[in-house]
Amino acid sequence: MKISIFDRLTGGPDSFDSFDEELEPTDTGKGLRERLADTQSRPTPLEEDLPEAEGQLPVDVHQTGSEIIICAFVAGVRPDDLNISIGRDLVEIEGSRSERAQVSGPDYFTRELFWGSFSRTITLPEEVDVDASTASAKDGLLTITLPKLDKKRQTKLKVKAG
């Protein structure tokens, strides 16, 4: 007997219902408080054997009437370790954050900070003036200011004889 697609989706008369089976409880003899305490006291497992992956830099991008502004937290990154490439409609930020203290794996309880290389490519909503763009870092916040190109601006050219 062939089951229609409607019966399969709605759970027709011959469909399997996993809630019909009774599951045996797994009682460890510990209450909820003890089980929560066990999970909270365990250190986060370290993944030292994984290959070093490149991180993606989180950014905020906003605009004013005449500029596009990109902000990114780069705390712990030296200015020499940042590389910013600007095109008319694209910005690429690359860098690396080096761990200064060498701590062995078993001595960590929790390890959440990102160390290593990172990058981010941002497609801009408008063309910008590459030559007039600026970048500054203060208190770990990188701010890139990109002046918008004025497409309405016109200039008159004089034709030279000769």
- CATH number for position 73: 2.60.40.790
pLDDT means per 10 residues, the chain with 162 residues, are: 67 55 56 58 48 79 95 90 93 88 77 83 94 94 94 75 77
CA–CA distance, 145 with 68 (Å, rounded to integer) = 6
pLDDT of residue 86: 95
pLDDT of residue 50: 46
pLDDT of residue 84: 96
pLDDT in tens, 33-67: 665 555 555 454 444 444 556 788 899 999 999 99
User: Helix H segments across the chain?
Assistant: 5-10, 32-41
Domain holding 105, by residue range, is: 55-147
Going by their DSSP bridges, the two strands 116-123 and 55-56 should be labelled as parallel
pLDDT of residue 95: 92
Indicate whether 22 belongs to any domain.
no
Indicate whether 68 belongs to any domain.
yes
Indicate whether 41 belongs to any domain.
no
* Total domains present in the chain: 1
